Amino acid sequence: MHAASQTHPEFRTETFLGAPFACLDVPGAARVIGARPMGAPFSYVITSNASHLVRLNARKDERFAAALDDAGLNVLDGAVPHLLAERLFGLDIPLCPGSDLTAELFEHVIQPGDPVTVIGGSEEMKRRLVARYGIGTLNLHVPPMGFIDDAAAVEAAIQFVIEHPARYVFLVVGAPRSEYLAHMIARRGGAVGTGLCVGSALNFLTGLVQRASPAFRRLGLEWLYRLAQSPSTHFERVFVDSLPIFLIAAKAKLDPAAYGMRRDGDGPS
C-alpha cells in the first residue's frame, strides 16, 4: 500500500498537482485498507482535498510534502479538485472523501474485535463509537491545543500509538497536524496498524457535528454548507486555504510537467 509508486498490483495511480493519487473509490480504498493484517507495520492514509493541494503547491510546506511522499495511500477528497482533475486534465481519479471512507470502514470493514486507537476527538465521541459499533477495544488520546509545536505533547501522542497496538488508528487532530503526526509515527518505527488522517469524519459519524445532506454532497457543495453553518471557522478554510487551487490548476494547465503531470495525449500513468 504505497501511493507514491506509479504502479501497484491492485490499483493505478495518477499524479495531480504534484501529488500521487490512488485511483480508488470509497469501497476500493476500504478493501485495500481492510486487507492489511493486524500487526502490520504502521502505514497511513491521507485524504487530500483542495487545502492539502494548496499547502503542497502554494505554501511549499516541506513537512507536508514529506508526509505525502511517505504515505501508504493518498486518495482524492473534495468535489472541486475532483472536477478540476477531470475537466481540465482528463484525469479519471475517483472521489474518495475521508468522511465516506471512515463510514465505510466502520460499517463494513472494522470488526468488534479489531482494536482501534483515536488521536483527537473526545470521550463523548469514544462513547458513541463504542455504543454504535460495539468496538471491544477503543483507546483514546486527546492532545492539548497546539500540541504539534510542543515536543513533549507530540512525543506523548507517538508513544500512545506505539503502546496501544491497533489495527486502525484514526488521527483527527486537524490538517496538517494529523499528517505531520502520522509521518512522525511512521518514521519512529515500532507502531502497527493503518493510520487514517480523516479530518472531521468521526464528528460526522457520531452525530457530534451535522454533515451536509446527500443532495449538497452530490452537487459538490458540502463546503458551502459548512461555511453557512460556521462562517467564522470556515471562512479562512474556504477562501484562504482552498480557493488558490484554481490558480494552481491554471498554472498546471499551462505547464503540466512542472507539476509532475502528463500532457494532453500522453497515455495513463
Residue 46 has what DSSP assignment?
Answer: E
Residue with cell string 482533475: 85
Q: Which residues face 46 on adjacent strands?
A: 74, 197
Distance CA 110, CA 150 (A): 32
Residue 7: band (very low, low, confident or very high) from pLDDT cuts 50, 70, 90: very low
Q: Is residue 66 over pLDDT 90?
A: yes
| CA distances for 115 relative to 111, 214, 250, 257, angstroms | 9, 30, 44, 43
Amino acid at 27: P
> Is residue 238 packed enough to be buried (19+ CB in 10 Å), middle (13-18) or exposed (0-12)?
middle
Report the range of poorest mean pLDDT among 8-12, 33-37, 198-202: 8-12
Domains in the chain: boundaries: 20-258
Amino acid at 108: H
Instruction: Give the per-residue pLDDT at 5.
Output: 39
Amino acid at 49: N
Q: What is the pTM of this model?
A: 0.89
Instruction: Give the per-residue pLDDT at 240.
Output: 60
Mean pLDDT of 219-230: 59
Instruction: Give the per-residue pLDDT at 261.
Output: 85
Report the range of poorest mean pLDDT among 13-22, 108-117, 212-221: 212-221
Q: Is residue 6 over pLDDT 50?
A: no
Helices (runs of H) and strands (runs of E) counted in the chain: 13, 8
Instruction: Give the per-residue pLDDT at 208.
Output: 85
Count the residues in the chain: 269
Mean pLDDT of 13-23: 96
